[in-house]
Amino acid sequence: MSAEAPRRFKPNLLLVNRRKAAGWESRKRAARELHRVGQQHGIRETPTVEAIEKAMYRHETGRVSVTDPIYRQLYCLAYDAKPHDLFGELAGSAEDRPYFTARSHKFLTAFVGAEGAALLREATGCTPAEGQLHTCYSTPVEHPEGDCTLYVWPCGSAIFHLVEHIELSTIAALAAWREVSYGDNIRWAADYLAPIAPPKDESAIYVLGAHWVTEPAWPADLLDAALRIMTTPKVLLHRDRALDDEHLAHAELVEQSLLSEAYDHVGIESFGVPGVSVGYASWSGVVYHPISTERSLTEAEMVACELAVQAMWAYSDAIARQVERGRDPKVPQEHGWRYLRGVRSRLTVSRLRETGQHQAMRRAILQTCDLMPALNQAIETLRDTDRG
């Protein structure tokens, strides 16, 4: 192990976006195209396709800067761009900017049905998951971007819990990273499930993000506003505009403006404790910063709460989709309305030894995710059709 300090990885989102804009979803496809461009333009030292693919991963994730003249030339030719468009800083020196570090928790959620859940558990070797709010099974799975665990509920919900370590200088960069990576994550989840237990509705696969901020980059008087922006990062981005350098630069200006205005939004719920933690939940996700690690919530508590909520969100949504198509929902008797009634109780009724902080987190997440109306409707529907 090296004694050197860990390097700050700053993903080159412009390279990622240019690749996707060219229609090259995979780096392998893009590497073949860059190799072809190099040969077409007579670049004698064009690297092999395999070498280009590895270099692209390192460049796009920020492991290394694009300093090699050959790669700079290949990127500019393939993406029809100038060097500043792909490799220039947005403003000022990146080294002079303070960085924040966090663990990104992504909950890639799909509904595969009870039969699909049984097949998935058997195929992946899932075992009973410990410390969860209701019975489910889990197993580690390989993911190219971080540590990933698959959770499966017998009722048919499946969640890939992906953990990535991030270190960024702006919330705008976080917003752009989310925008780019969520599409990749959803495609990866769909591809993983397809040969084993295809989702009932692939369009219903979604990603819910939560961030555990370990080192903030803002002074104390801006911390709350910064974390509120992090819970709703899309507020920094234009809806229908490519994530180019101009867009990112504008997003940084919006970020500075919202920080100065002490940004808040009616859809954000606080569950922090002064002097102990700062925590916020919204429809878009959850952000938490433990000020006093000995007295704050634990990361495992936040993860368990989100897993339980998103699993039941997916199940309730699947029932609603059947109803909206004019059908009586078909679910196993053991996962009918009585099952959901028990789930609702577990999510909403406080435990005797539950801390006030945990209670506040659970209520804030339930309030902002809009699960309870969907869960209540699912119970009523299944009761009407005599399921469970």
SS3 state of residue 286: strand
Q: Which of 307, 312, 287, 288 is nearest to 161 (CA)?
A: 307
Question: Are the CB atoms for 107 and 159 separated by under 8 Å?
Answer: yes
Q: Which of 232, 103, 234 is nearest to 168 (CA)?
A: 103
Q: What residues are paired with 290 via a beta bridge?
A: 277
Question: Are the CB atoms for 371 and 312 separated by under 8 Å?
Answer: yes
Torsions phi, psi for 20 (to 5 deg): -70, -35
Question: Are the CB atoms for 146 and 209 separated by under 8 Å?
Answer: no
- The sign of the torsion formed by the CA atoms of 39, 45, 48, 52 equals negative
The C-alpha angle 216, 220, 226, rounded to 5 degrees, equals: 55
Q: Which of 301, 299, 331 is nearest to 316 (CA)?
A: 331
Digit-by-digit pLDDT tens for the chain (388 residues) are 444 444 456 677 778 888 988 999 899 999 999 999 999 999 988 999 999 999 998 888 877 878 888 998 999 999 988 776 677 544 444 455 678 999 999 999 999 999 999 999 999 999 999 999 999 999 999 998 899 999 999 999 999 999 999 999 899 999 988 988 898 899 999 999 999 999 999 999 999 999 999 999 999 999 999 999 999 999 999 887 777 777 888 888 899 889 988 999 999 999 999 999 999 999 999 999 999 999 999 999 999 999 999 999 999 999 999 999 999 998 999 999 999 999 999 999 998 889 999 999 999 999 999 999 999 999 999 999 876 5
Question: Are the CB atoms for 113 and 200 separated by under 8 Å?
Answer: yes
Structure tokens at 34: 């860059």
Q: How far is CA 352 from CA 342, 349, 356, 361, in A?
A: 17, 10, 11, 16
The whole-number pLDDT of residue 10 equals: 66
CA distance 133 to 146: 25
Which residues contact residue 157 at a Cβ distance below 8 angstroms, ignoring those fewer than 6 apart? 109, 110, 111, 112, 117, 310, 311, 312, 314, 315
The whole-number pLDDT of residue 92 equals: 42
Q: Where are the alpha helices (DSSP H) in the chain?
A: 13-21, 27-40, 49-60, 69-79, 83-87, 113-124, 171-193, 220-231, 245-260, 299-324, 337-348, 356-369, 371-384
The whole-number pLDDT of residue 84 equals: 65
The whole-number pLDDT of residue 93 equals: 45
The whole-number pLDDT of residue 144 equals: 85
pTM > 0.85: yes or no: no
Instruction: Using DSSP bridges, classify how beta strands 206-215 and 285-290 pair: parallel, antiparallel or unpaired.
Output: parallel
**45 CB neighbour count, 10 Å cutoff:** 7
Structure tokens at 134: 């209701």
Burial-class residue 315 by CB neighbours within 10 Å (0-12, 13-18, 19+): buried
The whole-number pLDDT of residue 387 equals: 63
Burial of 334-348, coded b for 16+ CB within 10 Å and e otherwise, reads ebbbebbbebbeebe
